[in-house]
Amino acid sequence: MAQAQIIEGTGEELIELLHQQPKERFRLIKLENGRPFQTYDGALAQATTRTPEEVAAARARLIQASPPPRELPEGKTLEDVVMGKWPGDETDEQIFEALRKLS
| Residue bearing the bigger pLDDT, 19 or 63 | 63
Q: How far apart are CA 29 and CA 16, in angstroms?
A: 17
Q: How far apart are CA 29 and CA 6, in angstroms?
A: 10
Radius of gyration of the chain (CA): 23
The residues spanned by each domain of the chain are: 11-67
Instruction: State the average pLDDT over residues 22-46.
Output: 75
pLDDT digits (tens, 9 = 90+) for 36-88: 667 788 888 888 999 999 999 999 999 999 998 889 999 999 888 887 766 77
Q: How far apart are CA 56 and CA 7, in angstroms?
A: 35
Q: How far apart are CA 95 and CA 8, in angstroms?
A: 46
DSSP 10: -
State the pLDDT confidence band at 90, using cuts at 50, 70 and 90. Answer: confident
